[in-house]
Chain A
């Protein structure tokens, strides 16, 4: 019981890592808390459903992030870039408006009933883990989360573009003066962040059912993660995502009545102790 719960906590944590890295990247470059991130995740999941039904899951796994990346670039070019001189509140509300539009779009195209995507055949077996059989697909989700975390960390630390991204997150004006095209950089990063939301959506489709409420469930947990980790901090978000997965898993075993409240209590506690999150220095 405990093993399977901890394992599911890891799976959920991995999914949150993919979600929140996109949210944190976008916040880092554009100082935008993207309320539509959860809806983009949902859009990714539904697109994945349609593509997987017509061809197969692996095509969806590649195609959806690509489509979402293009959407993200457009969102930056015709949204965030034009609004970069506005106060943060206005931009947050624009993303809230976007959330409403995407939710409506998804409900119109795919309807309100629950849909599900079968796990790909290669991963629909189960594997023995410490004497407990676990679905192979969920192991793969953990691997995706770990891959995203590792890939982003290495990319930001060792590549030239990664250096630019880190510089622009600290001080966009100075970075631009040094000759970095921050607009193109932001478009790329918002594209990447949106692609990650789409990836999270496709990956979640075979083990969470698709419904119009899937976005608000995940976005609120994602907000808890990025705020607890410190807005804009990737490593903080990774740790907080895993922490939240674990807290929910352990809470379900030891405090079943309060399990759903634990993430919020955690958030309130950490923000009272350190108002800018445990890895955050920015406001």
Chain B
């Protein structure tokens, strides 16, 4: 896709979002879609790490929950205006994740996934236990001020505006990532992912780009955490729990991580399916378990891969090739 085409699709996507917000029907449908879009941003962050780094994180809820808590605590202590808190939180997410990444991405293969799981669980347990700061297992309310970036918060939390804010964030995140991955940064990270040793031979420093992808994915997930805190006005240790990381990974795989929009599609499918299955909701775990296994066995590139095959015929099929190298 050329750059003008990218911008054009972003504008079209925004227009579609505005149309959904205007004619999308009841507040209930819109708030469901809003949730789906927030998790779409989350899943895009997780998918980014997998796509550009070939690494599976079982602990990205860490960044989702931490950003919510960070804003909640800053606002509670009234350290700075909410706008500054959001910007600072995202920058801090990126810096912390970059430093963590420098250490963590050296751990090979599946062990990396478990390390992320362990670090995430550490955050979960700390948040559940420090009652004084985080409200412990009960969670904490986020005291948003009355205006945010010049817009009154009472308007922002209306289903229509909330949906539009989240949708616009999603579109902008995808546009920025698409542009970034077309650049030299994208090529370098792909080279390192496909064969770290050879990438080193041709003179690429491999550690920093991998840590940078980790940091970037953390910032994207952190952003979804901020949106969630804005949408619900509440953070709890559940936002840090490893099952959330697992669910996000499920969205990524079911949606298809080889294309940028795959994880977002996975998130939307997840929420719609959960809503449609409402009556069977007691068994959603088993249903998603079966769905996950089915998708992995029959379409390793996920729904996005299957759609691409439908549109492009057999041409897109080689993308299914596993791209893990050592």
Contacts and interface: CB of A to CB of B under 8 A. Distances in A.
A261 B300 contact: no
A265 interface: yes
A53 interface: no
Interface of B: 50, 56, 103, 106-111, 113-115, 117-119, 121-122, 125-126, 129, 242-243, 246, 249-250, 253, 282-283, 285-286, 288-293, 296-297, 300, 322, 324, 326
Contacts of B285: 100-101, 103-104, 107
Interface in A233-283: 257, 260-261, 263-265, 267-268, 271-272, 275-277, 283
Contacts, number: 115
Interface in A70-91: 82-83, 86-90
B192 to A, nearest CB: 16
A97 B292 contact: yes
Contact of A92 (B56, B115, B242, B300): B56
A98 B111 contact: no
9 contacts: A82-B297, A92-B113, A94-B293, A96-B289, A97-B290, A100-B286, A104-B286, A220-B242, A275-B108
Interface residues of A, number: 42
Given A216-B243, A283-B109, A97 B129 contact: no
A104 B56 CA distance: 24
Which of A97, A261, A268 has the most chain B CB atoms closer than 10 A to its own CB? A97
Contact of B118 (A98, A100, A223, A272): A223
A82 B297 CA distance: 9
A266 to B, nearest CB: 9
B108 A276 contact: yes
Which of A83, A86, A99, A268 has the most chain B CB atoms closer than 10 A to its own CB? A268
Interface of A is mostly: helix
B65 to A, nearest CB: 16
Nearest to B106: A275
B108 A223 contact: no
Contact of A216 (B109, B119, B242): B242
A268 B115 contact: yes
Which of B111, B125, B285 has the most chain A CB atoms closer than 10 A to its own CB? B111
Contacts of B296: 86, 90, 93-94, 97
A22 to B, nearest CB: 16
B108 A283 contact: yes
A197 interface: no
Nearest to B105: A275
